Structures are given as structure tokens and as C-alpha cells.
Amino acid sequence: MHKKEELRAPVSQKPHVVEKPENIDTIGGTVTLELNEKKVTVPLGTTILDACKENNIHIPTLCHHEDLCVAGVCRLCVVEVEGMRTLQASCAYPITSPIKVHTSTPMVRQARKHIIDLLISEHYGECYSCFRNNNCELQSLAKEYGVDHYNFGHIEKPRYEVDKSSYSVIRDMDKCVLCKRCVRTCIDLQEVGVLEAVGRGDQTRISTFLDKPLADVVCINCGQCINRCPTGALRANDPRDEIWEAIDDPKKHVIIQTAPSPRAAIGEEFGQEPGLSYTKEMTTALRRIGFDKVFDTNFTADLTIMEEGTELILRLYKALVEKDNSVKVPQFTSCSPGWVKYLEHFYPEYIDNLSSAKSPQQMFGALIKTYYAEKNGINPEDIVSVALMPCSAKKFECNRPEMHDSGFKDVDYGLTTRELAQMIKEAGIFLPEMPKSNFDNPFGEASGAGLIFGATGGVMEAAIRTVYELITGKNVEDFFENMNVTPVRGFEGVKYAELPITEVGPVPDILKPLVPNWDWVKGATLKVAVVHGTANAKKVMEDIKAGGKFSECHFIEFMACPGGCLGGGGQPIPTNKEIRAKRAQAIYNEDESLTLRKSHMNENVLRLYEEFLPEGPCSHKSHKLLHTHYTERGKYIA
Amino acid sequence: MTTNKQKREGAVIFSEYERGSAIKKALSMGRDDILFELRESKLKGRGGAGFPTSTKWMLVAAAKAEEKYLICNADEGEPGTFKDRVLLLEYPELVFDAMVVGGYTLGAKHGVVYLRGEYEYMKKSLEDYLEAMRKDNLLGNNILGKEGFNFDISIFLGSGAYVCGEETALIESMEGQRGEARNKPPYPVNTGFMGMPTAVNNVETLAAVSHIVVKSGAWFKQHGTDKSTGSKLLSISGDCKKPGVYELPWGTKISELLELVGAENTKAVQVGGASGICLSRSEFDRTLAYEDAATGGSIMIFNENRDMLKVLKNFMEFFVEESCGQCTPCRIGNVKLLEGIEMIERGEYTFSYIKKLKDLGNTMKVASKCGLGQSSPNSFISILDNFSDEIFNNVNGGSHA
């Protein structure tokens, strides 16, 4: 019989894919159907739902999500197909013959209304006490279908305990509509597999392995499930109350660092089109909310490049020149806490491949309560350090026990884009109309290289801009037009690039203590890969395990979330490919508009080294503050 | 529980049959000839849905794939059926020979019996039987000397979910997944077990195939009606003197059946199990046939002393528990129907709400993902319609309260 590995049918079932012909103009490449009595021609295998979208016919959906495989379980998208005894789920019906479809018959309308009534009857909770109020798909459906009373009753008592065990993701199963988007996100999109339906019939619920709390299973905290949940069943662990309290406490010095991705997406929370950056409006809003200082995480992204880039050079030198077998290559990036935890659970044997450099968030945290506190004469105890992140896993990361290198909790709170938008609204501010202002110094100036960390490929591009210049002594523009390292850009799940180093220059001062010369890289080819989404990470890791092409790489960027940070679990809901592409464009546009676009040219970073880390990158002190270690977690948690 | 001994043998399935004869005959025929005989016979699936067996086999036979599978659906889970048990225990040759014939006709190398979890006790004897077939070269490589024809049968034990009798849920279950129906299309004949073309046939369907191959399609269709050829094994239970497995030609009237089994003062007959329909006395002249009262084999007889609301409640409790829970209409709809029954029991209902629930039942019939939710409202609607006097008057008399 067939081997299981070849045809793994995930629990959520792969969709039936009718292979579309390469050229739809060939005979049989298209099919003409009747859609509400109108003849339309679509490529063979198009679903009825997609055919309807193409033809501006609205079909309500709930379990459908374009990032995910088909489930066909909510049944809201049912339509009549002539000749079929029952209604057909349009999301799951590939058109292969000239069918006749009716999308709004009495039977169809009645069925949809019934389904909404049934879902609402089991949905506990009141809209006004839900964070998804006004951004809830169930609520929208109820409005769309004019639900004005509970036709089949309404559940009055909660049935489940809210699981608040995780630093990142909170599960409130009373709001769950069993669309299984979270299950499909976890199993198919991310290939983590923490969530699954258990029980049967009316006892069906989404649960974890052995019903354990989320903190005790292999959840990587990526929060992709939150972004795809149609209701408020999944949400991030929200620190707004604590942050307001700190802001309102005059004794506290509350600073916020802001990651590159939130600024490219936060406008969406204020009804703006995706793809517009509100960086400077956001800094003003943050000050008006009451943050004492507003810093740019891109600064420590630049610092990360210095540390991680140096680490890469050192690793390669030790491995290739000194033939030190204890040094692991390829080096993996470590900025994405979801990816880090994924590796700790699923590939713990590769922990030594992870860059020991902390993520920009945690570098920032360590510097705020040391360098910044010293420089400004503030007692680090009085500093409350908040990190605005596009990410739910950052909440976990700042709570990792090892993240106390400043002597205090380096970062006190991780705040998501959604949560900040909420705070801005609570402060009575309409973000898009804010006057513009700059970040505060000394961490206010950052390069475009730090900024593009937000998109998949960004860390790699930033590293290449720096490493190329440090090694060749030439401008990166000489190799890549307009500094855009296009081979590592784009949304392809796994990108691979070979970058030949044809010439070398003198070793720059900052690296002189570490390498004597560049002769050993001359003529070499730097092999790099960029991976986003842990399902893709799994592919690459399995390839590395098998000694394939990726095991020959020198440096691999991994991001847990599809699209990179801009698609993070703390970003505005909804998300889809188009939205993520627009956010990426916003980030790249902003990068191009800057004059400073290379991390090693950031003078504030260089000053930091001069003043605070005089021994340079990867030195003893930088190791103490800016580097970290990881935990072998494994798949089995006692 | 009725024992296997209580049975009435009819002229088709229980007619004489020599072990291995269908295989011998089939191997001397072309694949097309076998498919032709099947089409001639007009045999339809005996599990309940009544899909033409020849069409199913033709689709799998015509499919091009590196592997194909033939699955015998022995997940006999419909409340009130036990006829497959009799076939498997007493006439395994009919079932297994047909599977070998199927393997030959479809080009499949593997046959799987999906055996109901509760039938675990017969696994050993079935495996012994298969082993004996291997010894006689009725299974294995180059079967009966037919060069290149290799086929074997394994037994897969189900885990007790009713929904796994639905063919795509059955396949999911075999693949190690939760027993949940798949989206259709694609159908298993195209994308079945492990994504390969798969024929899923009921035990009784296969038993009929063995006879058709040996005795011809023309012989088979002499029995039954024009649209429902052959005979049907019926599992008779309930208020009658002689419950058991009966082979009767399609077209038999309910009243004839009741007489045969010694049922007296019958008030209702549930045809087709919990998912079937409930007939009242005025409909006893209806016939058992795909075109009239269709059944996968379950016939439950209720006499005058039975409380039809309790009968209905029992069915609905079954569906609430056995719904796989994936699709909205079935998962929540069945709960609402059951709650409606409880309201009637308590006497706290309005006719407008009952009407609303019947409408909901009609939505479930068309909008549910699989046959479970599509048929579970049948008994709700038919019992409330056919026994409204009893149910609603009783309530007024307070007997349910």
C-alpha cells in the first residue's frame, strides 16, 4: 500500500485540486457554466466561490480563508447546482463541467439564515465585551442576514474555562464556531499541529494534546491562528491595563520601542488602505498617549546585523579556516521568537546553528536598562520597557527567564499592533491625522536595513548590505542596483541565492580583533536561503537533515510567520496575501526613501560601540548583553 | 439480540453458491464482460444510497492510477441492521470472492474489509478464512494461475463511529484521521483511499456480485422490480414474533412483510433505520424498493403500545451523539431537533416553533456535508407528521410530561 509520508492527508483534509491546464487556451482548458442564468467561462477546476468572486457575486463564507486549505464545514457558502439533490459548498466545488449554479434561491437563503442562527445559538458571549467587536465575521454575517433575534435560542452560560496559560495566545472556546481555521493554520499552514478537533457531535471542540494548557504544548506562539480566527475565540495576551498603569504612574519612566512592521499596518486599524506607513504619525500618537520616550527598534535591528553578521564571519572563519568542527554552519537567524521556539521543539539538535545574537527587541531591552539608564541617570528599576511588535511570540520571548541580562526584566511588555491601535483609540486619537514627529535619540536613528527586517528576506538583505561592504570594501550598490538585494525578496516560501565574492578589501577596524584578512573568502560563493512560515522551515530543516542543498548554505533567514513579521500574529485582522504584499511594499518604499540604508553606517550604533562596547561586536560585554542561549525543548513535554 | 439462526433464505443471495466459483468464472471472462453483466443486472448499492454498482466499478476500472483499492464496507452501523453480520459469518465466500472479482475487474491489488469495531469478535475467523483462500490460491499472486493477477485482502477494524459507514469518512478513518466525511466531489472512485481510485461497496452488494458473475445479470434481474432488481436482506427487529434476517424480493409490501414476521397490532414501521422514514398504518401498502420505501436493510416494527415520541427521541439522541461535529447544520441542527422533542415532552412548545424546526430539518437535508446530517431529520419530520395526533394529543393529555 501507499506510504503515508507521500500522501499525508492532514486532519483538516487537503482540498481537491483539479490541476489547471498550463495554458487555459488549450481545448478543455476552460469550462463555461451558467451562473445565475449568465454564461461565464472560467479555467477548469475553478471553485464556484472563486467563479462568483470573479463575477461580483457575493457568497457569504466563514470557514473559508484564502491562506488555508478548504474545509467545507460551515456550509454558509452553499449554492444550488442544477441536478444535484443537495446544496453544494461553493468553496469546495471545483467546476469541471458546464453546470448551472444558482446563488440566491429561497432554499439557499433559508439554509444560510438557518446556519447563522445555529452558530449564534451556540456562541457564548456578548459583542460589546469582545475584542473583535466590529471586526468579527460572525457578527458581520448576522448583520448581513438581518438577524434580529435568537431564532434557536442562545447559550446563557459559558461551557469552557478560558485558557490564559500562554504568554501569547488566549483561547476562549465559548466563542469558537468550529470553523477549524485555527486547526488548519496550525497543521497545514504552519505544520506545528497544536490544535485539533476532539470529541464528537455536540461535544466537538478544538483542543490541544490531552487538553493541556497552551503553555504546556508545543505551541510556538506565532499567533497565526489569532489572525485567522473569525471570532474572538483566540486573542493575544493583552498587557494594555498594565501599560496604562505604568504610564499613569509619575514615578515610572515608560519607554516604547517600535518594530518596523506595525507602522506599515497600523493604519488598517483606523480604516485606512493596507500598504500605507504611519511611522511619524505613530510616534506623535505614542507621545500623546504618554510614553516618555519613543524609540525605533530598527536601531537594534542595525545592531543585530553588526552582531549577527560578525558572528557569521567568525563562524565561517572558524569552520572554514580553522577547521573547527564544533562550529555549526549554516547559521540560522534568531530574530523570530516563533521560529526559535519551533526549532527548540522540533529540531533541538540544531540549537547550535541558531545565531546567539538576541532579537532586536531583546537587545533593545538589555540596552535600555543599562546603557540608556546610565547615560540618562535613570534608575533602571523605574524604567518600564514596552515593545511594540507585530508579534504574539514576542510576549513569550520577553518572558523567557534568561532575558534578564540587564539585571532586570529586559523588556517588560510586548504590545501588538492591534493592542496599540486600541490604546490610541482609547486616548481619543485618530492616528492618520496626527502631526508627524521623529523618534527620540539616542535610539531614534536607524537604517533602512533595520526597517526591512519586517519583510521576509529583510534580515538577509540587511546582512548582505553590511557583510558585502565589510568584506569587499566597496559599495553594495556596485553589486545590487539601488542597494535592493532582489534575489532574497518576494513571497516565495523558500528562496535560495548564491552570491559570489569576487574581490576583497582590507579588514575594517571594527573587525580587526577577529579576523586577520579576507583572503579566505576571496572567490568563494556565499550561499544563503530565506524561509518564512514554519511549514517551509520544516521543508528546509528536513533537507538539511538529509544533507541536501540547504545543508551547504552559510546563512539562512527563518521567520515563523508567512510573509515575515509584517504577517505576524499581532498584526491587524484580517490578513491575506494581498494585504501582506501591500505591507511589504510600504516597508520597501520607506527603505528607499531613506538616505541611511546600511546598518554599519548607522552612526548611533557606531557610537554605542565606542561608548559602551569598546571591544566591538561579539566581544565579551556584547556577549553578556546582546547574546543569549536556547533551550532544548523537544516535542514531548512532561 | 437476534441470533444468526433466525433467517429466511430467499432466491438470490442465499441461493446455492460454490466457494471460489465466481473467481473461476470471472478469470475466464474479460473485464468488460464482467462490467457488462453487472450493468445488465442493474444492481444498486445495498448500503442504502443505491448507487449503480456497475457505474462505480466502471469509473474505477477506467481510472488510470498506480494503485487502486476495493473496500468492503462492513461498518454495519445503522441502528437495526445486522444482515452483514450474517453474511460475513456464514457466507464469507460470497463477499470475499466478489472482492477478488472486483480486484480483477478494477485492476486493484488490495482489498480491505472495513469491519465494524463491535464485530471484532469475528476478525479471527475472517482472517482464518482469508488464510485458507491464500492456501487455495484464491488470494495472493497469480490467482488460480492467472498470470499477473495479484490480489489480497486485509481487515481494518473501525473504532465505533457511526459516521464511518459513510464512505469518505470510512476512508479518512482508514488513513488514520478523524472519521469525518470529505468534500465531494471528488468522489472516492476518483480520489479515494490515499488519494487513489477506490470502490467502496457494501457487504451485501458484493455478495450479490458473486451470484451475478456466476449466474448472469439476466438471472439476477428476474427478481425484484424493474427499478429495484434482485432481492434485499432485511434485518427485522421490534414488535414481532419472528425477528431476524429475511431475504425478500424488492417490491414486497410492508403489509406482506409484517404478516411474514408475525407482527400484530403494528402502529409504525421504521424503514431504513434511524436515518430512514417512519411509516404509519395508512402507508403499509407501500413497497420496499428504491423507487418507493428504500432501505439499507433495517426494518423496525412498533406496535400500539409504543410511544412514538420516545422512539423519535431515541433516534435523535443517537444522531446528536453520532454527528461527527464538523458541519454546522448537523452538529447544531440535531441538537435543536432533540431540544424540540424535549419541549414537546414537557408540553412547552408552540406549533410555530415545531414548524420552524421542521424547516430547519429541511435545511439540514440539503445543506449538511454528508449523508448523516442529510438523513437525520427524516425520522423527525416523518414521525411528527405521521403521528401528530398521538404525539400532540398525548401531550395535551399530559402523558409525556
CATH number at residue A285: 3.40.50.1780
Last residue in a domain, options A408, A433, A458: A433
Encode pLDDT of A565-620 as tens digits.
Answer: 999 999 999 999 999 999 999 999 999 999 999 999 999 999 999 999 999 999 99
- What are A603's three cell numbers? 552612526
Contact A286, A262 (CB under 8 A): no
Q: Which residues of B touch A153 (CB under 8 A)?
A: 336, 339
Kindly state whether residue A378 falls inside one of the protein's structural domains. Answer: yes
| CATH code for the domain in which residue B139 is found | 3.40.50.11540
**Chain A residues closer than 8 Å to B191 by CB:** 16
Minimal CA separation from B325 to chain A, in Å: 4
Query: How close A78 comes to chain B (CA, Å)?
Result: 7
Give the number of A-B residue pairs with CB atoms closer than 8 Å. Answer: 137
Mean pLDDT, residues B185-190: 92
Find the CB nearest A118 among B67, B320, B332.
B332
In a domain, A176, yes or no: no
On whether any CB of chain A is under 8 Å from the CB of B356, the answer is yes
pLDDT in tens, B202-213: 999 999 999 999
Please tell me whether residue B241 adopts helix, strand or coil conformation: coil
Contacts of B79 (CB under 8 A, 6+ apart): B273, B274, B298, B300, B315, B318
Segment (H or E) for A367: helix A360-367
User: CA of A112 to nearest chain B CA: how many angstroms apart?
Assistant: 9
Task: Please check whether residues B113 and B213 belong to one and the same domain.
Answer: yes
- Give SS3 for A480: coil
Is B337 inside a domain boundary? yes
| Same domain for B356 and B217 | no
ipTM: 0.93
Q: Mind telling me how many Å the CA of A135 is from chain B's nearest CA?
A: 22
Tell me the per-residue pLDDT of B280-324, one tens digit each, with 9 for 90 and over: 999 999 999 999 999 999 999 999 999 999 999 999 999 999 999
Copy the grid coordinates of residue A265: 499596518
pLDDT band at B146 (very low <50, low <70, confident <90, very high): very high
Give the C-alpha separation, B236 to B2, whole Å: 9
Give catalytic status of residue A492 as yes or no.
Answer: no
A283 and A337 in a single domain? The answer is no
Q: Which one of A80, A281, A311, A557 is the catalytic residue?
A: A311
Residue B397's pLDDT is 41
Is residue A565, in this structure, part of any structural domain at all? yes
Give the chain B residue nearest A47 (alpha carbons): B185
Q: Answer yes or no: do A406 and A497 share one domain.
A: no
Q: How close is the nearest chain B Cα to the Cα of A581, in Å?
A: 31
Q: Binning pLDDT at 50, 70 and 90, where does residue B401 land?
A: very low
Q: Tell whether B237 is covered by a domain.
A: no
> Are A511 and A388 contained in the same domain?
no
Task: Provide the pairing of β-strand B7-8 with B244-249.
Answer: parallel
Q: Are residues A310 and A390 in the same domain?
A: no
Of A405, A433, A461, which residue is a domain's last? Answer: A433
Nearest residue of chain A to residue B66 (CA atoms): A2
Residue A207 lies in a domain: no
Q: How far apart are CA A568 and CA A282, in angstroms?
A: 19
Can you tell me whether residue B165 is helix, strand or coil? helix
| CB within 8 Å: B325 and A107 | no
Q: Which one of A47, A86, A155 would you mutate to disrupt binding with B, by most B Cβ within 10 Å of its Cβ?
A: A86
Are B363 and A114 inside 8 Å of each other by CB? yes
Among the partner-chain residues A9, A89, A118, the one whose CB lies closest to the CB of B175 is A9
What are the φ and ψ backbone dihedral angles of B356, each rounded to 5 degrees?
Answer: -60, -40
Domain count, chain A: 2
Residue pair B277/B263 in contact by the 8 Å Cβ criterion: no
Cβ contacts of B49 on chain A, cutoff 8 Å:
none
Report yes or no: B357 and B380 within 8 Å, Cβ to Cβ.
yes
The answer to whether residue B172 is domain-embedded is: yes
**Closest alpha carbon within chain B to A17:** B186
Of the residues B171, B174, B326, the best mutation for testing chain A's interface (the one with the most A CB atoms within 10 Å of its CB) is B326
Q: Let me know whether A527 and A555 are in one domain.
A: yes
Structural domain containing residue B213 = 10-221
Query: Do A484 and A516 share a domain, yes or no?
Result: yes
Q: Which residue out of A113, A118, A151 would a mutagenesis test of the B interface target, given it has the greatest number of B Cβ atoms within 10 Å?
A: A118
Cell of A334: 534568531
Closest Cβ opposite residue B327 in set A75, A94, A107:
A75
Q: Are residues A488 and A558 in the same domain?
A: yes
- The count of domains in chain B is 2
pLDDT at A125: 79
User: Has residue B144 been placed in a domain?
Assistant: yes
Rounded CA-CA distance A95/A80 in Å is: 13
Enumerate the residues of chain B whose CB falls inside 8 A of the CB of residue A199.
325
Contacts of A110 in chain B (CB under 8 A): 359, 362-363
Quick check: is A394 catalytic?
yes
**Residue A73 confidence (pLDDT):** 96
The C-alpha atoms of residue B307 and residue B314 are separated, in whole angstroms, by 11
Q: Does B180 touch chain A (CB under 8 A)?
A: yes
Q: Could you tell me if residue A86 is inside a domain? A: no
Residue ending a domain, among B173, B192, B221, is: B221
- Structural domain includes residue A289: yes
A73 and B360 in contact by Cβ < 8 A?
Answer: no
Q: Cell numbers at residue B161, please?
A: 463511529
Cβ neighbours of A15 in B, within 8 Å:
183
A385 is a catalytic site residue = no
C-alpha to C-alpha distance for A354 and A329, rounded to whole angstroms = 9
Respond yes or no: is residue A311 known to be catalytic. Answer: yes
- Residue A421 placed within a domain: yes
A454 with A557, same domain? yes
| Closest by CA position to B275, among listed B133, B383, B117, B114 | B383
Nearest to B194 among A2, A72, A119 (CB): A2
Give DSSP secondary structure letters for A97-141.
Answer: S--EEESS-HHHHHHHHHHHHHHHHT--S-GGGSTTTTS-HHHHH
Whether the CB of B67 is below 8 Å from some CB of chain A: the reply is yes
Catalytic residue check, A397? yes
Cα nearest neighbour of B185 on chain A:
A93
Which amino acid belongs to residue A619? Answer: S
* Strands lying side by side in the sheet with B110-115: B152-157, B110-115, B69-74, B198-202
Distance from CA of B280 to the nearest CA of A (A): 26
CA-nearest residue to A204 within chain B is B325
Distance CA B125, CA A165 (A): 51
Going by the DSSP 8-state scheme, the letter that residue A506 receives in this structure is P
CA distance B261 to B257: 6
Q: Are residues A313 and A405 in the same domain?
A: no
Pick left, alpha or beta for residue B140 (phi over 0 → left; psi -120 to 50 → alpha; otherwise beta): left
A289 and A313 in a single domain? The answer is: no
Task: Choose the final residue of a domain: B221, B237, B258.
Answer: B221
Give chain A's residues under pLDDT 50.
Answer: 1-12
Task: Give A7 to chain B, closest Cα distance, Å.
Answer: 6
A313 and A379, same domain (yes or no)? no
Structural contact between residues B2 and B241, judged by C-beta atoms closer than 8 angstroms: no
Residue A194 in any domain: the answer is no
Question: Which residues neighbour A174 within 8 Å (Cβ) at sequence distance 6 or greater?
Answer: A123, A124, A125, A155, A158, A159, A160, A162, A233
- The domain that contains B390 carries what CATH number? 1.20.1440.230
Q: What percent of chain B has pLDDT over 70?
A: 97
- Looking at CA atoms only, how far is residue A31 from chain B in angstroms? 16
* Domain end among B203, B221, B239: B221
Q: Do B194 and A152 touch (CB under 8 A)?
A: no
The pLDDT tens digits for B316-347 are: 999 999 999 999 999 999 999 999 999 999 99
Average pLDDT, stretch B237-250?
Answer: 96
Q: Find chain B residues with C-beta within 8 A of A16's C-beta.
A: 183, 185-186, 191
Inspect the interface and report whether the beta carbons of B332 and A122 lie closer than 8 Å: yes
Question: Do A352 and A366 belong to one domain?
Answer: no
Range of the domain at A328: 306-357+449-575+586-626
Q: How far apart are the first and last CA of chain A?
A: 35
Look at B320 and A201 and tell me if their CB atoms are within 8 Å: yes
Length of chain A: 638
A308 as an active site residue: the answer is yes
Q: Which residues of A touch B161 (CB under 8 A)?
A: 200
Residue B368 contacts A where some CB pair is shorter than 8 Å: yes
